[in-house]
Structure 1
């Protein structure tokens, strides 16, 4: 099988995390014998509108060139919305299989952009397969585009998790104070305020804990101010942490706190990464995380923005025996098995092969 890969997100030398899941997808599928005979990608973020415009013009020209002159069996595209102009232009010339891999709000929640949604519908009616990150997001896509059938939409978790990067390094020391972890982009919808409010409540109850916050984003100073104002001295603010260093954090956490309430959280891969390291996850009972977290089995599910409920479940875990904690950790590991990147790639290739028969 030959694939023509298109994505507006792909890592660059200076921006190694930008679209890293697309790179991981490509490498794992290649490792299983699939050839990428053409690639049109935008590498790295642009800081200015002018540079971004130039990159997209170059990107569209690359797509047009590869579409016309390269030999391939499947056109595999990540992120529909950003490619609507070029795809709409190419529809009349479509002769191969088209697969669209959506990752969040790029094809849902276009209610306020009726013209854009109308064109998206035109394209999706001609697409052979839509790939989504989770069963939750599959339901969202089918609800927003009722002309698509269940067979037209396939759930595949964003390249999966690399077991060589995220794995259990050592047994957790459950005798120490509870270690809570939060790794995220610092924006309000990721739930950082809910997390910190829960910590204040735990502190007032006298629950012994420490916490680590890692990531970056526009709300960084607000988080630091909140920590200072509420005297949360047991919280270690790390800032940005490289992906290859996250394994050490995930392994040291007793609980990974994932309070995002974004409807566009189509999967929430960091939760799966944490579980791969044997760390149970507490997340909002919505969106992607609700598809892999079983309440009181491999973690806990709480109502969005409900810091009372979040603190309640953290406290409940703190009161568990060592044996009960170890059982929940093992369940987390078991749940992450189906998200290993080789298994994810193998299943996706089987589905793509079906298209070509």
Structure 2
């Protein structure tokens, strides 16, 4: 079966984590014996580069779709790729499209993304199959669009256990790699400094936690990994809250370095407020390193987080509740923390890439039988 993989997100040397789940999907399909070709673009920062990139991308999608002889076109990110695919479908009605929707595809994060919604609905209606990352997101799609298209669940490429695995016994060596003081215990955050990611609520919650437990100010630190449109706001807020010594920031990292951070930290904090948090793969990556999570009670996170077993939940956008969660975690015994880490690891194994890849191939084999 010959598949054209379409996406406006794909990793590059400069941005190695950007759209890495699309690359993981490509690997999975190839491992399952499918012939995969790509029509993708990589991240650009300048507006003119983005404009030229999308123009070329759209033309490439239509050109390849018309002449490539593909059995299916598999698209990631319906919002930004719907236009050329709808044009292609009009010119070549026999084209069969499999649409993977996640994130802002269904729940726009900013007003400018609303303009894509009519085309998203049309693309989902004209797709042969829709793929969503979680049961939660499947419900959102059905509720919002009312489509009759079959929906299947596949968790965003899964977790690569060749990269994300427990390495707690080497924690001191890992700390030395990042010049971290082993005298402290560390919490962690990984995500963009951007709208809806909850980095601001995390800073406020962590500041409140330290105010209420001043004795821990010389025991714990918060590592925050990521960059984004709100970088300037992040650094300003960190200073205003008196957290310059207590919060350690790193910019975007390669996956191997992220795995080291997940192993260094005792607790991963996932403060998203996005209703469109379709799965939350970073939470599963942390769990794969035997690190439990403290996460917002929202979105696809609820598909895999069991309160009090592999993690804990707090009210989205509520710094006070987040601070209470941190305080409750500090009250746990070492054995309770260890059991939570083990349960987190067992959960992540259910999403391991090699274990789930057959689910994706089954979707395409099912499509092949309906020709």
TM-score w.r.t. the length of structure 1 is: 0.91
Q: 2:135 maps to which residue?
A: 135
Q: 2:214 maps to which residue?
A: 206
Q: 1:41 maps to which residue?
A: 40
Distance 1:8-1:317 versus aligned 2 partners, 3 A rule: same
Q: How many residues align?
A: 352
Query: Post-superposition, which runs of at least 4 consecutive aligned residues in structure 1 deviate over 6 A?
Result: 110-115
**Among residues 280, 283, 291, which one is paired with 1:268 in the alignment?**
280
Contact 1:91 1:123 in 2 (8 A): no
After superposition, give the CA deviation of every residue in 1:286-314 in whole Å (9 maximum; x if it has no partner).
Answer: 11212211111111111012122111121
Q: Secondary structure at the match of 1:10?
A: coil
After superposition, give the CA deviation of every residue in 1:54-104 in whole Å (9 maximum; x if it has no partner).
Answer: 222222222222222222221111112222222222223232432001121
Report the more deviating stretch, 95-104 or 245-254: 95-104
Using the alignment, how far apart are the partners of 2:117 and 2:207 within structure 1? 43
Counterparts of 1:162-177 in structure 2 under 5 Å? 162-171=160-169
Contact 2:188 2:262 in 1 (8 A): yes
After superposition, give the CA deviation of every residue in 1:159-213 in whole Å (9 maximum; x if it has no partner).
Answer: 111101100012498x975421111111242112221222222222235222211
Q: Secondary structure at the match of 2:165?
A: coil
Alpha-carbon deviation of 1:108?
4.2
Q: 2:70 maps to which residue?
A: 72
Using the alignment, how far apart are the partners of 2:241 and 2:80 within structure 1? 42
Structure 1's unaligned 5+ residue stretches are none
Q: Secondary structure at the match of 1:312?
A: helix
Contact 1:278 1:330 in 2 (8 A): yes
Using the alignment, how far apart are the partners of 2:199 and 2:61 within structure 1? 39
Using the alignment, how far apart are the partners of 1:274 and 1:83 within structure 2? 30
Using the alignment, how far apart are the partners of 1:83 and 1:23 within structure 2? 17
After superposition, give the CA deviation of every residue in 1:211-270 in whole Å (9 maximum; x if it has no partner).
Answer: 211111232233333333333323222233322201111001111011110112211111
Alpha-carbon deviation of 1:13?
3.6
Instruction: Verify: 1:234 aligned to 2:233, yes or no.
Output: no
Structure 2's unaligned 5+ residue stretches are 172-181
Q: 1:280 maps to which residue?
A: 292
Using the alignment, how far apart are the partners of 2:206 and 2:55 within structure 1? 47
Distance 1:60-1:196 versus aligned 2 partners, 3 A rule: closer
Q: 2:9 maps to which residue?
A: 9
**Among residues 337, 348, 356, which one is paired with 1:336 in the alignment?**
348
Counterparts of 1:124-163 in structure 2 under 5 Å? 124-148=124-148, 152-163=150-161
